[in-house]
Structure 1
């Protein structure tokens, strides 16, 4: 899942919560007494989690797992904590400060969650990283004799002509990629220079015809049809598109890494079972299995990397890669709203 778009959901109103069935003998979304209710974003991502994580972890822990879905907005999590109290574990994508997290989530019990193979950035007080989407420069492999290699190539319309595309709601990653294209090193990204980033984006729209996509399906369709030949893309979707013989690829240099996490609601009455589930779900085998179901998703657990298909390893950054940008939760938790307001104003001037 891509975290940039999920962060945009912070401004969403309420959405309907729906059942996704159950694993390991459960019978519904939130109403099965004794079951652990794990909530995610639904769709194909949920289907992959069900096969790679929910069913195996239900078996290994002996815990029934029920599922519900939500739109990744913090507002729905707050509603659960303050009212319904039906959920136990959530797949967390929104950027959230530790102070706000303390009001919603229980601290992770690292005496239960072994976190073997998880890097420091995936082991936080209130959540554990489990899935990473890489956002890179995507392109049609049949359109360019020489493949692009870096974000700056998106601005090079002479060498790489054609219509470009960006994710409409990816506020933070669009700003970050503009700065990477302008020479900012990943280690020097934060605090984000908004003036510089928007100036660089203005230059792009002056040089190249640009369009937007608002979903993974639309993104793939644009590249598949040739409506767009270069722009942003996601590791999972591009890997799956390439498997379907669509001539697309992603650059790995300065790829933006967006992490999705597991968190336990502080109102959960199944704290022990929740921690055991996260221990299972964050293990190398489960995360590698997730990539089997959704090829191109990047495991947060570094030990899962060696378990991946070699062809997949070629398309994603290695765990110790230094030429990638790992998005800062702390920075965006404090600054996302400011960037969003400016992005929306900018977007209205560029056909978004």
Structure 2
């Protein structure tokens, strides 16, 4: 069965639980990620919400990290959008610490079904993206099962790439050295742990053909054969697989990040925004959005509304999720600058 997002929308048959527009609210402006995300979110969330409530949702593209924009909106009172989509939970955490977000209403059955690790009082995930290892099955001589295999250059010959980004690549090095993902913060709490990570990176450094800096590069690198083995985001690898290229995703050792909805503090349409966010917690609607984008739904029930084959390619599919762990943004947040300085010094050394 070939998944069709349009068919999935049409199949939504649950009774309407959202009323008509609050008061005089007839529009909501959403700061979203733009491009393919806007197209998927329009089909899955924006247009169905307007049909059900009469509130038109207008997307406006924003920066990848909207923290500075949210602060400006709140401090100036110039609400160029009423809520934000696809905000990383790490960014949300920083905004909450600075008292820049409205609390959400997560009392609906759909919101309650979303795991506690994917929501808090001011944030609820709509989707989950994973950073994973991908490789070309036609050029690598046997299946790769872990980052340790990536470091085995004799056993697994091929052109290798790594991300030019401290947090992800330091984690990968420690995973390759046998450190469980959950133990990485403890290992890096001591200087010996950092030395261990950089010693492991020294082993692989002569064998790295491309240090990539933009995730958009990785599909081309894999598709063209410029790289045979490359950590990247699951949706980027899946786009190459969907194009017919023999690429395989290794979920083991992956780490995932939650992305979702937030409301800037003081938003004059906060009540309508909460109504919209509750609507977007629906598993049926998440199924439409996530299947298009190759990302994982936060509501476990979304897989009931998706093609079974497509479900198995997504990061929150139970078998895939069980092999990964969450990115510990509370640990990495305060260390971002220090880690970047040490990593860049090493890379240029």
- Normalised by the length of structure 1, the TM-score is 0.82
Is this contact kept in 1: 2:222–2:240, CA < 8 A? no
Structure 1 residues 320, 44: closer, same or farther in 2, change over 3 A? closer
- Normalised by the length of structure 2, the TM-score is 0.83
Alignment of 1:9-88 (within 5 A): 34-73=26-65, 74-83=67-76, 84-88=78-82
- TM-superposition CA deviations, 1:34-85 (whole Å, max 9, x none): 4211111212122211222221223233321111111133112211111222
- The equivalent of 2:9 in structure 1 is none
- Alignment pair present for 1:312 and 2:306: no
- The equivalent of 2:107 in structure 1 is 111
- The equivalent of 2:334 in structure 1 is 334
Structure 1 residues 34, 192: closer, same or farther in 2, change over 3 A? farther
Structure 1 residues 348, 246: closer, same or farther in 2, change over 3 A? same
- The equivalent of 1:174 in structure 2 is 169
- TM-superposition CA deviations, 1:192-215 (whole Å, max 9, x none): 623332322222113x13312233
- TM-superposition CA deviations, 1:219-247 (whole Å, max 9, x none): 11111111110010222122221121112
Is this contact kept in 1: 2:110–2:278, CA < 8 A? yes
Larger CA Rg, structure 1 vs 2: 2
SS of the residue 1:138 aligns to: strand
Is this contact kept in 1: 2:110–2:299, CA < 8 A? no
Is this contact kept in 1: 2:28–2:82, CA < 8 A? yes
Residue 94 of structure 1: how far off its partner (Å): 6.5
Any unmatched runs of 5+ in structure 1? 1-32
- The equivalent of 1:7 in structure 2 is none
Q: CA RMSD in A?
A: 2.3
Is this contact kept in 2: 1:131–1:260, CA < 8 A? yes
Structure 1 residues 79, 231: closer, same or farther in 2, change over 3 A? same
Any unmatched runs of 5+ in structure 2? 1-24, 189-193
Query: Whose helix fraction is larger, Structure 1's or Structure 2's?
Result: 2
